[in-house]
Structure 1
Amino acid sequence: MRVKKWGVGLVLTAAVLLTGCTAATEEPADDKPAATAEETTAPTSDCPELSEGATVDGSELGTCITEAMTDTAGYAAKTSILGMDTTARYNPETKAVETITPMGSLIVIGDDAWVKSSTSEWQVADPNSSDPIIASLSSGATSVSQADPATAAGALTGEFTVTGTGSRLGQDVYILTGTSEAQGVAVDVTFEVTTDYVVLATSGTTEAAGQSIETSLEITEWDVAQDIVAPI
């Protein structure tokens, strides 16, 4: 799908809206992205046992996911938003995120952000830049920095139902579906989680600026240190 220049920020914001819980959620604890994935460690609290047809409150689901994802050196994921593929790497220890899109890249480390378009060099993020791509990427960087991968799952609302089972990265998963709210926007979300509440993939659908937005995310590398450094 062709995305207009003004849509860069929308795309990145959509990533936060639809995978904000996901990005956090996406941190499946103790899971390896290979057919020989190791067994995960169950959350410390009394999370409900998952089974087909079971329902889980969104806030409880978020708590269980957050507990399951706390022990990781870092992870990488691929996301499809509005038909556009992006890749991302996360380093929870330094609160660093690197996102690469066809329109440009951004790096956020703590409160600092840098961006570059496909034709420019790295520069400090500037939402007021005269370059519309840089301005949009910078706005997206601000949104990404507000979605802390370590806590975003805690923002889940609504109720989720186990609608089926499957397999992901060599592990059995339960498929949970439900509707949550992100920044006042209703988002239909699907999670693929292990019995220990490790999320291995997500998908979401919502509407923003009169446009239907669909996204999917898949963990490609888990519990692997991600060396994300300031580009300048």
Structure 2
Amino acid sequence: MMRSKKWGVGLALTAAVLLTGCSAGAEEKPADEKPTAAAEQEETTAPASDDCPELAEGASVDGTALGACITDAMASAAGYAGTTSVLGMESTMRYNPADKAVESISPMGSLIVIGDDVWVKSSTSEWQAADPESSDPVIAALSASAANLEGVDPAEAAGGLTGDFTVTGTGTRLDQEVFLVSGTADMQGLPVDVVYEVTSDYVILASTASADAGGQSIETSMEITEWDMPQDIVAPV
């Protein structure tokens, strides 16, 4: 029973990554790539337009190029907040890119990441330092997820995006026009059908994903509800 519960928790957290398009290689990406992106961010608040794929109805889009542009574009935000739905479980999220601060609150549990420090709590525990080896499967799963921001931040996750995509339409989010970028991403060998809602300056304002894992259908969604607004994320202990 405990093993099944832990697997379910891990699946839910994996599904959370799927909705942002994190690829199989994202967790294996060398850590020194991120400072490079940060250094580029100091020089410009957005990637040069000729380095980013065209976003227009019918256009073909390379996922790797799009992901890099999304990561860089969203890193310039003062902060943002959003909601996710993973296997029917609703969560709220807040991000401050400059501080590499993330807060996620869900019925399963909560986590706060500030720089290299991580705290987690389950629905029945107090806040505690992250411990991937915890005997509590929820604490262990939350800790493992928080150890890599690709697991909880859509901007970071986009850096691992791969695959071929197509702009299939347009829409509106937060009073901004968005392009519907559709395709199939790969997560640890698992094909994931995804649709991203991306602004003309490469900000993901929403996404949906669906996949079949071990005979279980995974449906996820993400929506940014506040964009470019500082978030009050503080250490819980």
**TM-score of the aligned structures, taking structure 2 as reference length:** 0.78
Q: Are 1:17 and 2:22 matched, yes or no?
A: no
Alignment of 1:56-205 (within 5 A): 56-144=61-149, 151-205=156-210
Higher mean displacement: 112-121 or 13-22: 13-22
Whether the aligned pair in 2 keeps the contact of 1:80 and 1:216 (CA below 8 Å) is yes
Equivalent position of 1:44 in the other structure: 48
Alignment of 1:208-223 (within 5 A): 208-223=213-228
3-state SS of the aligned residue for 2:92? strand
Report the secondary structure of 2:99's partner residue: coil
- RMSD in angstroms over aligned alpha carbons? 2.5
CA gap 1:132/1:154 in 2 versus in 1, 3 angstroms: closer
Distance 1:130 1:69, change over 3 A: closer
DSSP-derived class of the 1:59 partner = helix
What's the TM-score, normalizing by structure 1?
0.80
Q: C-alpha deviations, 1:103-141, integer Å up to 9, x for none?
A: 211112233221111122111122222333323332332
Change in CA separation of 1:180 and 1:134 when aligned onto 2, cut-off 3 Å: same
Superposition deviation, residue 14 in structure 1: 1.8
Which shifted more, 87-96 or 11-20? 11-20
Gaps of 5+ in 2: 24-44
Distance 1:75 1:145, change over 3 A: same
SS in 2 for 1:105: strand
Map Cα deviations across residues 151-174 of structure 1 (whole Å, 9 max, x no partner). 432322111111111111112221
* Aligned residue type for 1:18: L
Larger relative contact order, structure 1 or 2 (CA cutoff 8 Å, min sep 6) = 1
**Could you tell me which amino acid in structure 1 is paired with residue 49 of structure 2?**
S
Change in CA separation of 1:67 and 1:93 when aligned onto 2, cut-off 3 Å: closer
3-state SS of paired residue (1:19)? coil
* Separation in 2, partners of 1:209, 1:182: 13
Distance in 2, matches of 1:206 and 1:142, equals 24
Q: Residues 145 and 227 of structure 1: is their aligned pair in 2 closer, same or farther, counting only changes over 3 Å?
A: farther
Moved segments of 4+, more than 4 Å: 143-151
Question: Identity percentage over the alignment?
Answer: 68
Rounded Cα–Cα distance in structure 2 between residues aligned with 1:64 and 1:129: 37
Moved more, 167-176 or 206-215: 206-215
1:145 Cα deviation after fit: 6.2
Unmatched tracts of structure 1, length 5 or more = 23-40
* SS of the residue 1:102 aligns to: coil
Which residue type is aligned with residue 64 of structure 1? C
Check conservation: 2:94, 2:231, Cα contact below 8 A. Answer: yes
Contact 1:176 / 1:192 at 8 angstroms: preserved in 2?
A: yes
